[in-house]
């Protein structure tokens, strides 16, 4: 990669840092003229919009041109919208909305005035006020130009390195915002000294910096620069005799992936940076096109997931739970399915993690519980047996920690009229052990409603045997991974036998998942296991098929 200078912005930056201007000397016309030029918008529209904005805020023009300038600089988007409205609305008379020009005059040379004002405008518009580095606006302009140049040279590429400081918020909270600002300035100075001979560096967000590199020949050059940045930041920063260490996650993307616009290249670098953070921080990741495809697919799935409840695309499938002693049907586990209008049937493993990340699991979980209770009430009235049919419903971590969970469950029980003793709530072993104290409190409240409680996937999570007797649990459900091997490995058989005996000693029932072969069934019967579910009995089925099974197996 050839070295290059940064003359495209260095002269402006130097001018910005040394310019001095008495902003109180400028009147409305001068400021409007500058804004019009910089925003490439008709002067009459901008002058009218600025006058309307100022008089709307203060009732009259401010007494100082400095105040007018600050408002213009900080409200460019609003000015553009107002200017567009004025340009297209003939009912608005500019004579009514534009005050007379203020009478502030400058003794200075007009050309000098305008150059100084232009310098101040550019400083506010294109440079970060804290670090003095180019901001995102200026950096994106350079990136646009670089991509145009690269398209004219088939053997060269443009690259972006996005640098995200790790755990900066913790430093900010611990040392204070003032110290955090000093740290950002120090980081910016190190990065600028390192990058300036070969590229352009900017500050994009509070703790994010971006590097633009041109004439990139190979990915090895980019890796070398990323490693140099990591080494650069490895030395401590000293504040008030205290050493502060900073690490960074770096995302690398370059235009050989076929980027046509700067936003795409920056987005890919951002994706790679977040991948680096997710992989443990203090590392760099090179963007992979497959990651972009996956991210787009995930975003679309999230959008569809948010609409799925409203569109009634969710369905409940029911898997029978059978008495191993009598072979009779005793109940069902309610399992969620998503009938996507384009992708067809989507299973929970594909969308439940996304629902948990986005918080959608709470309304989805509430819907599942309500639908399952309503259906159970219908079946119990149509097929009265003793003991009555049961329904098992899974609860997620987010639901357990939901403040109004108990009240929500109570309301569903009241609305559906189902017998609480027939409803079993299943919680995984890992959920319980994440926060045992909270779990115990919530489970006890649910138990007071008359519900049955079940530990799902038992044996795969934490070592919870010491805690098990503290939980108000009625049933242990042994994970399918143990059952799948009990007919071939003696060790797995012994584990299952130990869990069954443990449950007996604690007065709990046992359900085994994943029963698929007659030999597995025979082994479980020999261990005096009470209940089982799996493909040997039935795969999960829809409501109509479940109803037929009830008629056949009761």
Q: Are residues 361 and 263 in the same domain?
A: no
Burial 46-66 (b: 16+ CB within 10 A, else e): bbbbbbbbbeeeeeebbeebb
pLDDT for the residue numbered 346: 93
Instruction: Answer yes or no: is 294 within a domain.
Output: no
- Residue of 209, 186, 187, 185 lying closest to 199 (CA atoms): 209
Classify residue 131: in a domain, yes or no.
no
Q: What is the CATH number of the domain that holds 165?
A: 3.30.70.270
pLDDT digits (tens, 9 = 90+) for 371-387: 999 999 999 999 998 88
Boundary residue ending a domain (126, 144, 174): 126
Q: How far apart are CA 345 and CA 283, in angstroms?
A: 38
Q: Which domain holds residue 52?
A: 7-126
Does position 217 have pLDDT exceeding 50, yes or no? yes
Higher pLDDT, 216 or 125: 216
pTM score over 0.75: no
Q: What is the mean pLDDT of residues 38-44?
A: 64
Cis peptide before 136 (omega within 30 of 0): no
Same domain, 542 and 409: yes
Q: What pLDDT was estimated at residue 297?
A: 85
End position of a domain, from candidates 232, 253, 287 = 287
Q: Within a domain: residue 13?
A: yes
211 and 355 in a single domain? The answer is no
449/24: higher pLDDT: 449
Domain identity same for 393 and 522 = yes
Q: What is the pLDDT of residue 313?
A: 96
How many distinct structural domains can be found in the chain? 3
Domain co-membership, 401 together with 506 = yes
Is residue 57 assigned to a domain? yes
Give the pLDDT of residue 45.
66
User: Of 287, 321, 343, which residue sits at a domain end?
Assistant: 287
Radius of gyration of the chain (CA): 33
| DSSP for 172-201, written as a single string | HHHH-HHHHHHHHHHHHHHHHHHHTTTEEE
pLDDT higher than 50, residue 106:
no
Please check whether residues 241 and 314 belong to one and the same domain: no
One domain for residues 12 and 84 = yes
Lowest average pLDDT, out of 95-104, 108-117, 275-284, goes to 95-104
H-only helix segments in 337-435: 348-358, 361-382, 397-400, 405-416, 429-434
């Amino acid at each position: 990669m050839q070295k290059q200078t940064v003359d495209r912005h260095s002269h402006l930056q130097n001018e910005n840092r040394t310019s001095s201007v008495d902003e109180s000397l400028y009147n409305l016309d001068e400021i409007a003229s500058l804004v019009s030029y910089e925003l490439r918008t008709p002067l009459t529209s901008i002058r009218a919009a600025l006058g309307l904005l100022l008089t709307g805020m203060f009732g009259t023009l401010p007494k100082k041109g400095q105040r007018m300038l600050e408002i213009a600089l900080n409200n460019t988007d609003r000015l553009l919208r107002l200017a567009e409205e004025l340009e297209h609305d003939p009912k608005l008379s500019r004579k009514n909305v534009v005050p007379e020009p203020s009478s502030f005059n400058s003794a200075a040379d007009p050309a000098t005035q305008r150059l100084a004002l232009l310098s101040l405008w550019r400083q506010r518009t294109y440079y970060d006020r804290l670090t003095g580095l180019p901001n995102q606006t200026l950096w994106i302009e350079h990136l646009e130009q670089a991509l145009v140049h690269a398209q004219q040279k088939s053997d060269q590429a443009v690259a972006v390195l996005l640098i995200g400081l790790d755990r900066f918020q913790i430093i900010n909270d611990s040392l204070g915002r003032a110290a955090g600002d000093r740290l950002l300035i120090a980081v910016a100075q190190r990065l600028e000294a390192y990058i300036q001979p070969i590229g352009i560096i900017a500050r994009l967000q509070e703790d994010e910096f971006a590097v633009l590199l041109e004439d990139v020949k190979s990915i090895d050059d980019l890796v070398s620069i990323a490693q140099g940045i990591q080494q650069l930041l490895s030395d401590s920063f000293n504040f008030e005799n205290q050493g502060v260490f900073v690490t960074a996650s770096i995302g690398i993307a370059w235009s050989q992936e076929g980027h046509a616009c700067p936003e795409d290249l920056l987005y890919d670098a951002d994706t790679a940076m977040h991948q680096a953070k997710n992989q443990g921080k203090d590392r760099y990741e090179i963007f992979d096109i497959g990651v972009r495809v996956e991210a787009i697919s995930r975003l679309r799935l999230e959008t569809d997931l948010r609409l799925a409840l409203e569109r009634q695309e969710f369905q409940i499938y029911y898997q029978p739970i059978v008495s191993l002693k009598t072979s009779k049907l005793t109940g069902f586990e309610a399992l969620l399915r998503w009938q996507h209008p384009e992708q067809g049937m989507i299973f929970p493993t594909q969308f439940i993690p996304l629902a948990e990340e986005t918080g959608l699991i709470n309304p989805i979980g509430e819907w599942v519980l309500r639908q399952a209770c309503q259906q159970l009430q219908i079946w119990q009235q149509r097929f009265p047996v003793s003991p009555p049919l049961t329904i098992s419903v899974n609860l997620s971590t987010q639901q357990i920690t939901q403040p109004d969970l108990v009240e929500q469950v109570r309301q569903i029980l009241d609305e559906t009229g189902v017998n609480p003793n027939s409803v079993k709530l299943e919680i995984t072993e890992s959920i319980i052990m994440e926060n045992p104290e909270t779990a115990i409190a919530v489970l006890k409240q649910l138990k007071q409603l008359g519900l049955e409680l079940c530990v799902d996937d038992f044996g795969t999570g934490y070592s919870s045997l010491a805690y098990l007797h503290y939980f108000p649990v009625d049933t242990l459900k042994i994970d399918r991974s143990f059952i799948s091997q009990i007919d071939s490995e003696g060790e797995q058989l012994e584990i299952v036998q130990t869990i069954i005996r443990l449950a007996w000693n604690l007065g709990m029932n046992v359900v085994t998942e994943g029963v698929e072969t007659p030999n597995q069934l025979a082994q479980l019967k020999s261990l005096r296991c009470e209940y089982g579910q799996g493909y040997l009995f039935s795969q999960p089925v829809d409501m109509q098929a479940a109803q037929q099974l009830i008629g056949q197996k009761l």
